A and B are shown apart, each in its own frame.
Chain A
Amino acid sequence: MMLRHFMPILTVIGMISPTFVHAEELASPTGRILLTVSGQITETNADGVAQFDLDMLRDLGVEEVQTTTIWTDGPQVFVGVSLDVLMDRVGASGSSIDASAINDYTVQIPLSDAVDGGPIVAFQRNGNVMSRREKGPLWLIYPFDSSADYRTEVIYSRSIWQLDRMAITQ
């Protein structure tokens, strides 16, 4: 069933070229660390890992995804970093991402999911930075409404919330 919905409400707010970002060394986080990326990455700012606070994530270039989810009531506006951009920034070279939540819930996400127009690592919902009680600090949001391909149980299971770690694996 190829009922793709080609009306994604997907707006690029800021567009910063990844190559341009690449040029710089990954800065060290100054605020509370929201995300730690480990494993097969080339860019690090700590002990073999790349750590990001909210500002660093914002600096990667934010993207807005407007979509409904099966866990929320009504249309939601999510703002975050494209997974594609994030993986590019850390120089991920594996095939899979082991994404873990605060409570250690872990899902395996193929690196191939990280595409332009694909999932974002959201830190803001409906204009507010997401608290832990509201599935913060980070929630991997696929643009569910943009394609039926994103409305599958597998994708739902990959939409990990209360995300705080990522490990890039082979």
Chain B
Amino acid sequence: MSPSDDHIPPVTRPKFLTGSALVAVIFAVCVGVIAILAQSVVRDLQMLEASKSDNIQWTLSQAEVEFLEFQATLRRSSEPVDLEKVREEFDIFYSRIQTLKNSPIYSGVGEDSVYAISLGSAKTFLDETVDLIDSDDSTLLASLEEIENRASELRISIRTLASSGLIQFAEQSDQQRSNVTVALLRLAAVSALLLGALSLLALYSTAISRLTQQRGAALAEANVRMNTILSTSLDGVIVSDTMGRILDFNAAAERIFQRKLKDVKGLPIGEVIVPPHLRKAHDDGVKRMNEKGITRVVGKGRVRLEAMRADGTIFPTELALQSATSGNTQIIIGFLRDISSRVQAENELLNVRDRALAGEKAKADFLTVMSHEIRTPLNGVLGNLTLLDDTALSDDQRRYVDNMQISGQLLMEHVDTVLDIARFESGKVEMIKEPVHLGNLLQGVVDGQGGAANSNRNMIKWAWVGPEIEWVATDAKRLQQILLNLVSNAIKFTHDGVISVEAQADMVNETCATVLFRVSDTGVGIAPEDLDKVFEDFHTTDATFGRQVGGTGLGLGIARRLVESFEGEFGVDSTVGQGSAFWFRIPLDLTEPPLRVTEETKPAEPARKLEILLVEDNKINQMVAQEMLTNLGHRVRLAEDGQKGVEAALAHRYDVIFMDISMPVMDGLDATRQIRAADAPWSETPIYAVSANVLASEQQRFLAAGMNGFLGKPLIRKSVIAALNEVSVVDPTDLTMRAAHGKDGMIHTMAQMRDELGDTVYDLLKDRFLGEGNALAVWLENGPVDMTEMANRCHRSAGSAAVFGALGFRDELIALEQAAKAKDVTRVASLVPNALAEWAKVEAVVQD
């Protein structure tokens, strides 16, 4: 946690050492030199103090005095002779010369010097005379004259001795003084040098001290800053050693864990903050880190864990652990954040979201239920109206029935509109592409809305702008819905005007075009400020007017969603008082016209009389469906609930079963599953769901349960006929015939067709059949993956195959279609070779 790592400049120890070492060396040298010089000076001073010099001048002059006294004694001794005095004076002089001769003080003088020569003369005199002095009195007396003569000769030498000695010793003294001076000067110089060195050292020390102070201050400041950060940090910061013992515990940690640093310092962190149920994992982690150096949390970023307060409450925490080196020891630093509030907020958000989703689901469920609850009785009303219409009625009665039918249809449309929204909201709307003739589609829309247009005294027309295109592969119902919504919207807001539908194709390439559809009117127009809103849900330009014209306000919203599902674009231009022009532009794939053109344009009568099982609990619906199917020439048996439906279906062979979904005792789905699962000869009978619930997701459930198709309530005659046409081709007699005759059956069918249609039409159809079959075969061989496309194409070709009596091929295609619808890729792959083989046979027969 030391801040020095980041904030303090590293101490340049080598430099510091070099500097101090240098100064130390200078210091030591100076001290050594001073010590030597001081010793020398002390010696000199000691010499001066110890003054070995005696009083040289006095001694020298005394020598001369004593010589003169000796000489005087000699002269005086003539009469009366005092020999003892002579001897005494001689001895005194002798002693003096001996002193000069022997004393070290006087020995420093060179032997050649005048002094030394003079002293030598004196010594010689003494040595030559001493025997005479020491002889008896008479001899001495006799020698006195000679001694005196000798002394006279020595007189000059003694004089010279004194004077030269004085000069000599004065020089010596000078030299000694000079030596002391030089030594003192040297000492002074070295002392000055030392003083300089010491000054430098002092300066250097001051600088170092200042630097150290600055570093210390910076360190202290960094520490204060770090402590401030740590103490004011909202995150708890806990420092521990590698064994997990707490070293530090900041204010936030104290707050979060309701513990005090002084109480927890040194305690194992596991006991302080880790909840009991995580403690073993924690201890294992500490052990793992120490033994193997493996860390799962340390240095791995933020981890969400649970922690424990002093009072034992456990709360969620976000934790980040880092290891660091402090001095020589490794420490672990933990940053902890109490995220109780955040987790609480997240949970609340989740709850809100869940509630919102549940609300959405409730809405969808409500719409589903409503569709059932509204459409079922409405189904009954409209069905009965249809039946009523077929009876003998008076003109007034017929008009009332018509009015009731119009009102009923309008109500149904509104319900459908709301359901459309629900379908889009559920996001499970599948685009079902099929060949559509655009001109026919537009014509149909205009025709269908002709009556409504007339009621507002509007004229309605449509036209191509530019080149026409005919067949496109698209979801016709959706396209129709868009156009219907726009046209009916235009009619609503236009009186005594013109509704004009225009289509304009821009070829993108040979197989694809972009088509612009424009629905313009000469109506009231839309105010500019409302233009952006008209595509919104539940939008009516004016509440009053909206009421006047009616409508849910959903029409344009649905149109917008549909255009978007085509990946197209849309817009509106409008001038108030002059009219509006709604437009949309969608991409469309060009396609060949389908073979079943004749079938579609001319809804056929059933190929044969069918045995139909109707499983329906609603009496009115029973009656409507029974009437409708009976009128179509089929025989209908009734079952009142799912259970009875299962029993009936397994007891007798039916061509098709119409199965209601919502029923008492057993619903349609369970019934279907039981039929399919039963080990009975009729368990594969085609079953069609009959339901008011038109949601795509529901239809998926029907197929998943084993149903073959779906019919919306109320039953529409056209849809029923189409469904029956699909099942009527699966005729057991056909199967028998195919099994018996195979190729012959097909030839028979083709011969019949030729008779009915004439050669020209038959050849055209035959060529198309071959073209379509070959195209499908090539497509299948290439291993397609689009299961929806697969189902569509197989479905289409199965119809064509049935027309030509190629029942084997048709069966394979139907099997393929069902596998494709179930998205069973494995089964599809296993079925494709069979279909191709069958096609090869069919192709050979048709070519003949």
Contact = CB atoms under 8 A, between A and B. Distances in A.
B561 to A, nearest CB: 121
A161 B59 CA distance: 13
Interface in B68-108: 69, 88-89, 91-92, 94-95, 98-99, 102-105, 107
Contact of B95 (A73, A133, A152, A153): A133
B88 A102 contact: yes
Contacts of B104: 70, 73
A88 to B, nearest CB: 30
Contact of B92 (A70, A71, A151, A162): A162
Interface stretch (B47-55, B296-304, B732-740): B47-55
B46 A3 contact: yes
A148 B91 CA distance: 31
Given A71-B99, A156-B51, A132 B91 contact: yes
Interface in B381-417: none
B45 interface: yes
A71 B102 CA distance: 7
A133 B42 CA distance: 37
A135 interface: yes
Given A132-B92, A135-B95, A162-B95, A156 B103 contact: no
Interface in A1-59: 1, 3
Contacts of B89: 103
Given A3-B46, A73-B107, A132-B92, A103 B55 contact: no
Contacts of B54: 70-71, 153, 156
A131 interface: yes
A16 B55 CA distance: 37
Residue in B50, B89, B104, B105 whose Cβ sees the most chain A Cβ within 10 Å: B50
B66 interface: yes
Residue in A103, A132, A151, A162 whose Cβ sees the most chain B Cβ within 10 Å: A103
A112 interface: no
A71 B50 CA distance: 14
A95 interface: no
Given A3-B46, A102-B88, A134 B95 contact: yes
Contact of B50 (A103, A133, A134, A148): A148
A1 B46 contact: yes
Contacts of B55: 153, 156-157
B49 A70 contact: no
A79 to B, nearest CB: 19
Residue in A70, A135, A161 whose Cβ sees the most chain B Cβ within 10 Å: A70
A153 B51 contact: yes
A46 to B, nearest CB: 21
Given A73-B103, A102-B88, A161 B51 contact: no
A73 B98 CA distance: 11
A133 B46 CA distance: 32
A13 to B, nearest CB: 26
Interface string B125-144: 00000100000000000000
Nearest to A148: B50
B46 A161 contact: no
Nearest to B42: A1
B46 A132 contact: no
Contacts of B103: 70-73
Contacts of A156: 51, 54-55
Contacts of B45: 1
Nearest to B90: A133
Contacts of A151: 49-52
Interface in B22-47: 42, 45-46
Please classify how large the interface on chain A is, using the bins under 10, 10 to 19, 20 to 34, 35 or more. 20 to 34
A72 B102 contact: yes
Contacts of A148: 46, 49-50
B70 to A, nearest CB: 10
If over half of A's interface residues share one DSSP class (helix, strand or loop), that class is named, otherwise mixed; here it is: loop
B49 A134 contact: no
A56 to B, nearest CB: 22
A156 B748 CA distance: 173
A37 to B, nearest CB: 21
Contacts of B88: 102, 132
A134 B42 CA distance: 34
B573 to A, nearest CB: 126
Contacts of A71: 54, 99, 102-103, 105
Contact of A70 (B42, B46, B52, B91): B52
A103 B51 contact: no
A1 B95 contact: no
A151 B130 CA distance: 33
A71 B52 CA distance: 9
A165 to B, nearest CB: 14
B107 A152 contact: no
Contacts of B98: 133-134
Contacts of A161: 95
Contacts of A131: 91
B91 to A, nearest CB: 4
B51 A152 contact: yes
A133 B50 CA distance: 27
Given A3-B46, A156-B54, A133 B66 contact: no
Interface in A131-168: 131-135, 148, 151-153, 156-157, 161-162
Contacts of B99: 71, 135
A161 B62 CA distance: 14
B66 to A, nearest CB: 7
A73 B94 CA distance: 17
B126 to A, nearest CB: 9
Given A1-B45, A103-B92, A133-B95, A73 B102 contact: yes
A71 B63 CA distance: 14
Interface string A111-139: 00000000000000000000111110000
Contacts of B91: 131-133, 162
Residue in A132, A133, A151, A157 whose Cβ sees the most chain B Cβ within 10 Å: A133
A162 B90 CA distance: 13
B97 to A, nearest CB: 9
A7 to B, nearest CB: 16
Contacts of A162: 91-92, 95
Contacts of A1: 42, 45-46, 49
A102 B92 contact: yes
A162 B49 CA distance: 26
A148 B66 CA distance: 31
A132 B92 CA distance: 7
B73 to A, nearest CB: 11
Contacts of B66: 103
A90 B50 CA distance: 33
Contacts of B52: 70, 151
Contact of A133 (B49, B94, B107): B94
Contacts of A3: 46
Nearest to B51: A153
B95 A70 contact: no
Nearest to B91: A132
B69 A103 contact: yes
A157 B95 CA distance: 16
A3 B51 CA distance: 14
B540 to A, nearest CB: 127
A133 B92 CA distance: 6
B46 to A, nearest CB: 7
Closest 3 CB pairs between A and B? A132-B91, A151-B50, A133-B94
Given A135-B95, A151-B49, 8 more contacts: A1-B46, A70-B104, A71-B103, A103-B89, A133-B130, A148-B50, A152-B49, A152-B51
27 contacts: A1-B42, A1-B45, A1-B46, A1-B49, A70-B52, A70-B103, A70-B105, A71-B99, A71-B102, A71-B103, A103-B89, A131-B91, A132-B91, A132-B95, A133-B98, A134-B95, A135-B99, A148-B50, A151-B50, A151-B51, A152-B49, A152-B50, A153-B54, A157-B55, A161-B95, A162-B91, A162-B95
Interface of B: 42, 45-46, 49-55, 66, 69, 88-89, 91-92, 94-95, 98-99, 102-105, 107, 130
